[in-house]
Amino acid sequence: MSKVVSLRLKEGPMERLQRAARRMGRTPSETAAILIDEATRQLEFANIEFRDSIVGRQAYVRGSRVAVWQVAMLARDFDGVPGDVAKHLEWNVDRVKSALAYAAAFPDEIHHAIEDNRRYDFQEVSRQLPTAEKLIIKARRAQPPAR
């Protein structure tokens, strides 16, 4: 269920909202709702920010080029162990935990992004990004500590 909220914007913020709405192909009201939702999520989840991507706006891990869904997908490969994912990415474990907390709070969003990625083949990507190169990298599993 949605609720109507009225707000008054000064000329500068209104012009920026209208530009953003044009870029997003939405009305100013729809755009404001999206941006407010994203801003409140960023307040709730440390290390998360929203950016435009080739497939639309997505949650990313702040200070990286990695989308939250990519961290969630890696976590599956590392049996859900944040420390192993952090080691693989050469990150602080808190960044991984932030991404996984966001993924747990918005499972449908993350699930759809992972599924969309699986269906997105290189041929389709190279049409949109002609300079793209295909790299295949096998993930190395972290070794358990010696006992």
| pLDDT tens figures, 6-45 | 989 999 999 999 999 999 999 999 999 999 999 999 999 9
pTM > 0.75: yes or no = yes
Q: Which of helix, strand or coil describes residue 49?
A: strand
What phi and psi values does residue 118 have, to the nearest 5 degrees? -65, -30
Helices (H), 11-130: 11-24, 28-44, 68-77, 82-89, 93-105, 107-119, 122-128
DSSP string, 53-71: ETTEEEEEETTSS-BHHHH
DSSP strand pairing (56-61 vs 48-53): antiparallel
